[in-house]
Structure 1
Amino acid sequence: MRPAAVRRRTEAARLPREAERRTAPVEPLSTTWPDLDLADAYAVQQDNVARRPAAGSTVIGHKAGLTPAPAREPLGAYEPDFGHLLDEMVHRDGGTVRAARYCAPRAAPEIRFRLARPLHGPGVTLGDVPTATDAVAPALEIVDSRIHDGRITPTDAVADDAGSAGPVCGSWTPMAYAPDLAAVNVDPLVDGSPVASGSGEEVLGHPAAAVAWPANALAAHGTGLDAGHVVLPGAMTTAPLIGAGRKAEARFGALGSVSVSFV
């Protein structure tokens, strides 16, 4: 790679880190570097994730983003993306988080998977996912944008680790006793008031398909989904903005519920 391209990636990686540290979003990277492509963006993402262990963080899994088609349309994205989940991001069900630690937090209702064995692509199918899954749980993913989201592109979303910021996990249900995940309905609420409704079908037709997707996409980067890791397959509804003094909750019927309060 040419020195100029290396410098571009290095500077592009610095900006989301600074935005997270200062809790102040930066201008879209695609505006500053119009020729930044998805390969560059994933390299930026990986560069920032690779710095985390030095600060004491551990990767505990991955998330798929932009899995519902309506989420891809505003960005002009033709496929989902993926990001990383870190142990420092996890919040307790029913607990509180500081709204000030995020730039523009949203609460996305999702079904969380915990893997009993690895899923390494290419060639992972929807049918491979249930047999590799130990348990599933209701979850809220705190999604944050460290980049001004008025005109972001897929490149910006990927470079920003797909908005990965803070999973909140409810009680686990062994996969053998889980309901049909495509048919699971969810009702997200803010301060007790319903804000949307959706089902597992919204996520690539089935949440397991949205677990298979990053397993295959990660293969191009020399990795995959590991045993013991967790996976968030994407939002089942729109994700409302949440601020201080508000409570986000999602009710998943037989699968249970999950909540978190912002202070």
Structure 2
Amino acid sequence: MIFNAAQLSEHLASSKKNGGVQPLTELIPQLSVEEAYQVQLKTISKQLAAGNKITGKKIGLTSTAMQDSLGVSEPDYGHLLDSMEIINGGKVQSKQVLQPRVEGEIAFVLKEALKGPKVTALDVIQATDYITPAIEIVDSRIKDWKLTLQDTVGDNASSGLYVLGTKKFSLKEINLRLTGMALYKNGKLQNTGAGAACLDNPINGVVWLANKLAAYDIQLEKGEVILSGALSAAIPAEEGDYFEIKFNQLGNVAVRF
């Protein structure tokens, strides 16, 4: 198969009726990461044409364990759309997801634009309006999550939905490295994590993203939500499940399936 971003984007879109599709890298074994980002951008362009709006970005593969599992040395990113947001404590309908997994994260909301390639941690701190606890519901159009880096990048970094907490905090009053969280499924503790698990500090994730996007002449815009990366392993979700994530400095965030 010859590389065609639009064709691969349509392949991923067909997952809704097929319950998951064949990996992109099985269709094109030599698919590059740069080509995979072209597929992602083609999908986002179609979403925008359909009336959706970009609300931010997400950063994936921020833990060493996840990077090692895919044989990579840096994170990846995807786009957030207004159609992906679920209110805190809200419900996810079964038709909205295929094979969802839940992660606890810290979200940054920007009051100023950030444009690489020379963005620093101080720049991120100054550009951040507030932070809030978040749930990312990762999902994959690739059947059974059998994917490579190129597959997840092409699939909008396995983005699904997201939930933001209702409390807002100044970045200057919170030590993100030491911010701990506990993820509960149906009232039972599943795992714990801390800010240091995300590139040593979630701020570093936003720095990486702003500088990475410079290669595509894209900047992080004022008002955008940035999901900075998972603080612990993703937990599979099924119909009827209730997830609550408790942060020791940021409050709680919850969602029901």
Structures share fold, TM-score greater than 0.5: yes
Whether 1:253 aligns to 2:248 is: yes
Deviations 1:183-226 (A, max 9, x none): 10000000011100110000000001011111111111111111
Deviations 1:44-88 (A, max 9, x none): 000000111221100011000001111112211221000000001
Moved over 3 A (4+): none
Counterpart for residue 11 of structure 1: 7
Retained in 1: the 8 A contact 2:117–2:212? yes
Retained in 2: the 8 A contact 1:23–1:103? no
Whether 1:119 aligns to 2:123 is: no
Whether 1:50 aligns to 2:45 is: yes
Whether 1:40 aligns to 2:47 is: no
* SS of equivalent residue, structure 1 residue 136: strand
In structure 2, give the amino acid aligned to 1:157. T
Q: What are the ranges of 5 or more consecutive residues in structure 2 without an aligned counterpart?
A: none
Deviation at 1:246, TM superposition (A): 0.5
Aligned residues: 257
Please report the TM-score for the alignment, with normalisation by the length of structure 1: 0.94
Deviations 1:77-133 (A, max 9, x none): 221000000001100101111134211101110001000101110011222211110
In structure 2, give the amino acid aligned to 1:108. E
Aligned pairs (5 A) from 1:110-259: 110-175=105-170, 178-259=173-254
Question: RMSD of the alignment, in Å?
Answer: 1.5
Please report the TM-score for the alignment, with normalisation by the length of structure 2: 0.96
Q: What are the ranges of 5 or more consecutive residues in structure 1 without an aligned counterpart?
A: none
- Structure 1 residues 256 and 177 mapped into 2: Cα distance closer, same or farther (>3 Å)? farther
Query: Separation in 1 of the partners of 2:194 and 2:39?
Result: 33
